[in-house]
Every structure is written in C-alpha cells, then in structure tokens.
Amino acid sequence: MKMPGLFERAIDSETYKGGVSVDTRLFLAGKFTEGAKREAIDLYDPARGTFIAKASIASVEDVDAAVDAAHAALQTSWGTNVSAPARAKLLFRLADLVEQRTDELAALETLNSGRNFLQAQGHDIPDVAANLRYYAGWADKHHGQTIETEDGRLAYTRHEPIGVCGLIVPWNFPLLLTIWKVAPALATGNCIVLKPSELTPLTALKFAALTQTAGFPPGVINVLPGYGATVGHALTAHMRIAKVSFTGSTAVGRAVMEAAARSNLKRVTLELGGKSPTIVFPDADLADAVPQIVTSLFVHSGQACVAGTRIYIHERIYDTLVPLLVRAAHAFALGDGFDPHAMAGPLISQAQLDRVLGYIEAGKAAGATLLAGGARADRAGYFVQPTLFADVPAGASIATDEIFGPVGVLAKFRTESEVLAMANDSAYGLTAHVFTASVDTALRVARALHAGSAFVNMFSLLCPQVPFGGTKASGFGRQLGQAALDEYTVLKAVHIRVRAAQDA
C-alpha cells in the first residue's frame, strides 16, 4: 500500500546506519558542557533495543545556570537589543543549515526515536526548515496598532518579548515539535531553555550546534536534556521563567499548570493528548479514504497525538469498508526506519511497548472483537502489530484513553446527529477527520466537532501557516501560524496625551 501524498524521495541510507556525529553534552550559554552533576543516560535504538550513545542529563543546578545565561543574553544581545530584521537574518541562516543537513538530521531521528527515515527526510526535517523560514518572515511584521481614542489622546500597542521561555518537548517527533516552539519564541525576541525528552535528545543537540554555526549569541538558546521530575519541574516552577510551552500527556499538563500557578503565575501553552475521531460518511471515496485513515492511525506506530483512533463508519458502508481497513492494517509494513519498504517503525521503549500491549489485552478482556493485529510483532525491537478492534463495549479503555500506539477502534453509526454525539463524547478535543463527497456535510460536521482542528478527506497533515492546538483535555493555546506569535509576546498599550496648540 502506498502512503498518500508524502515520502516520495529516496536516498542511500546506508551512509547513516553506522552513526552520525553529535555532541551529547548539555548546551549551555553557547557551548557544550558536562552537567553540574555529570550524570548521563544510555540511549537506545528502539528498532533493535541496542545501545547507541550516552547523553548528559541536566540537574536543577543546570537549569538555574541556563536561566541566568538566558537572562544575561536578553539584557545584552537579544530581545529588544536586537532588531527584528537581525533576528530574521539568523533564523533564515539557521533554516539553510537545517536544509543542508536534512539527511543527517533525519538519520538521527531514525536512530534515536525509530521514526521512518524517508518520512523524516521527506517531511519532518523539511518542515523544520519551513517553520524557521515562516517565523523569520514574521520577525519584523508582528506590529501593534495605532488607536485614536478621543480628541487630545492617542494610543499605540507593542508586542514585546515575554522573557525567558521554558520549552518542554516529547519524544515522538523530537526536532519538529522543538521547532514549533523555538521558531516563534526566537522570532519574537525571547531567550529559551529547551528540555528535549531524555529518550530522544540527539536532534535537539545537533540543532544546538547549528545555532552556533548560524551565529546566535551565547545564552539565547540553551538545551538541557533531562527528566521531567527534575528538569521539567524546575522549568515550570522557576521564578525567573516567564513562559512555559509543554507538549505531552494531559496528566503532566495538569502538573505543569499547577507548578506555573504556584510559582510566578507564568504563562502556559499546553498541547496535550488526543483521542481523535474519524467519521466516514456513505458518499466517501473509499479508495482514497482507506490509505488516509490507516496512515492517520498507524504512521509512526500510532505515536502521534493527532492519530485518528476512533473510526465511525456509516452503517450503509460498514460491511464494505471494514474488510478494506483490515486488509490495509495487515499490509501496513513494520520495520527498521532505514528499511525503504517499511511504513512504520517501533514504539519508543520497552515501557511504551508494555503500555500498548496492556491496552490491547484490556480490550480483549472487555469483549471487543479483534479484527487485526493484537500482539507484539515477531522481531527484535519494540514493535506492535497494527491493531483494529470492533464491537467495543461502552466505556472500554481502548475507546476512551489515549493509547499512543497502533490501536484503532471501529464503530457503526446511522445518522449525522448520532455520530456527532459519539465523536464529541470524549475528554479530548485535539483533531477530527471527516470523509465525505458533500461540501455541505463537510462544513456542517467540521463546525460541529469539538476539536481544535478538523481535516476533511485527509489525515492530520500540519503546516507552518495554520494554527494548531486543542480544547478540553487536549490543552489550550496555539502553535504554528500567526497565532503562535501571541503566545510569546506581551501586548503593551502606550497612551499619549496630545496637548492643544497654544495660539500666539
């Protein structure tokens, strides 16, 4: 089965199987350094479960040092001390450097996170460069307003940097999700302390080296891989960090909000979990819909918050579509990320493998009908077969919880109002998918769905120009698009009294 609309380019991936050069120390105040406690973590290739590198792990002391460096840069060499065109120039230069190293960065994503190499190379890393260019273009265009309030008074507004920002990124799309935060933060004049996942720090550290080459002043960008309980908590509770942007689970998102409130009431952006519905109406083009549905569900082995894991199928086409989806699930090839024939790679770790298999067993125990998959794949590494369930009892965990693995549930519906009630009956509200040939149905249903984004006749393919974020337990605030700029700025109003002319 061919995946829709992406990943056409191929290269000789043999070059990268032996490893890629990257400094695995902390990046603090413009240079690589050992952490204060000189602690390290072993990194593993999830496709094989084998050791690939040691990386430094930051401590609370390192967070304090990084915040100090960021504040110093903000006062002397960044923020309002650097013109917007100068910031844009550096971001454009950084985008060029990323683009020149597409294959190397894609290989690091594959080695460290299990991401399919061609997908990283053909989509993720080009999107990193595209995001940097998009926000470089915004750097000198995020203007305020001039407002005439009444005779003798004038006001204008300014978008000012919020300060030092703590950026916390998960392990599923390490560099792409990093840039969603870094690019608008830097474009608007902020300094950052970035915490990549301790499981997948390699591309963030390689990116840090590129910021050196691009010429960013020391302290503007600091990269501290570390554990959530130490580095993550230190960032969210720090009294000198003005903003935290977090992507991850809803449970941790609640802890981030609590720490932000208990410290200095720092501003927070949360992009959290999802349990996204996919609705297939009877007039949908099934030949087009099937690869879109299974791509949304199984790409990166379901380790995507936007995955369409709840699939609602109209009763008139249910018996036709279900066998097609089952066949596509069986054909969705798993493999090492460097295998050009693989469509999806491994789960990130043994812990995640155990979690996903636990949900699958819970689904079986609840009495759901297993249609495809349902077990660990028979190969080295952390692979789970693409799995589909039907006849899922109401309230079963496989239908309500974010599994973050290749597991989908199928259900039948009769009317539009019925399926909207089912689709919206979720704690989450991140994305939704609609398949129909009717423009009226598409617009009506997209409007009625409780989700931050709705995709019609396509899977969740995001782009730099369009804002992205959730509602309900999927979080708040927006990444991407012009809307992300407001997440990293303070809007100041300046009021001026204009004195009347004094006639001579």
**Residue 497 exposed, middle or buried by CB count within 10 Å (0-12, 13-18, 19+):** exposed
485 occurs within a structural domain? yes
Q: Give pLDDT tens digits for 344-387.
A: 999 999 999 999 999 999 999 999 999 999 999 999 999 999 99
Q: State yes or no: pLDDT of 76 exceeds 70.
A: yes
335 and 436 together in one domain: yes
Q: Give pLDDT tens digits for 233-260.
A: 999 999 999 999 999 999 999 999 999 9
Give the whole-angstrom CA distance, residue 475 versus residue 252.
11
Q: Could you please report the per-residue DSSP string of 265-300?
A: --EEEEE-----EEEE-TTS-HHHHHHHHHHHHHGG
pLDDT of residue 426: 97
- Least confident range from 3-7, 162-166, 279-283, 412-416: namely 3-7
17 occurs within a structural domain? no
Residue 357 phi/psi, 5-degree rounding, is: -65, -35
174 and 309 together in one domain: no
Q: Residue 503: pLDDT band by 50, 70, 90 thresholds?
A: low
315 and 380 together in one domain: yes
Domain count, the chain: 2
Mean pLDDT over the full length of the chain: 94
User: What's the rounded mean pLDDT across residues 174-185?
Assistant: 98
165 occurs within a structural domain? yes
Point out the catalytic residue in the list 198, 271, 402, 487.
271
Q: Give pLDDT tens digits for 186-231.
A: 999 999 999 999 999 999 999 999 999 999 999 999 999 999 999 9
431 occurs within a structural domain? yes
154 and 208 together in one domain: yes
347 and 376 together in one domain: yes
Give the whole-angstrom CA distance, residue 255 versus residue 244.
12
Q: Give pLDDT tens digits for 412-441.
A: 999 999 999 999 999 999 999 999 999 999
188 occurs within a structural domain? yes
260 and 331 together in one domain: no
Q: Residue 152: pLDDT band by 50, 70, 90 thresholds?
A: confident
189 and 312 together in one domain: no
Q: Give pLDDT tens digits for 2-26.
A: 333 333 333 344 445 555 789 999 9
Contact status, residue 308 vs residue 317, Cβ threshold 8 Å? no
Q: Residue 149: pLDDT band by 50, 70, 90 thresholds?
A: confident
pLDDT of residue 408: 98
355 occurs within a structural domain? yes
Rounded to the nearest 10 degrees, the angle between the axes of helix 102-113 and helix 174-187 is: 130
Strand partners, 408: 388
R_g over Cα of the chain:
24
Give the whole-angstrom CA distance, residue 325 versus residue 351.
28
Of the candidates 374, 383, 290, the one whose C-alpha atom is nearest the C-alpha of residue 337 is 383
SS3 11: coil
SS3 475: strand
499 occurs within a structural domain? no
3-state SS of 99-165 is HHCHHHHHHHHHHHHCCCHHHHHHHHHHHHHHHHHHHHHHCCCCCCCEEEEECCEEEEEEEEECCEE
Question: What CATH number is associated with residue 339?
Answer: 3.40.309.10
Residues above pLDDT 90, as percent of the chain: 92
410 and 266 together in one domain: no
pLDDT of residue 21: 85
Q: Quick one: CA dihedral 384, 309, 113, 328, positive or negative? A: positive
Question: What CATH number is associated with residue 254?
Answer: 3.40.605.10
Contact status, residue 110 vs residue 454, Cβ threshold 8 Å? no
Is residue 271 annotated as part of the catalytic site, yes or no? yes
pLDDT of residue 502: 74
pLDDT of residue 504: 53
397 and 416 together in one domain: yes
Of the candidates 410, 404, 154, the one whose C-alpha atom is nearest the C-alpha of residue 304 is 404
479 and 445 together in one domain: no
User: What's the rounded mean pLDDT across residues 35-58?
Assistant: 94
User: What's the rounded mean pLDDT across residues 74-103?
Assistant: 96
503 occurs within a structural domain? no
237 and 287 together in one domain: no
395 and 354 together in one domain: yes
Note down the domain range covering 152: 25-272+474-492
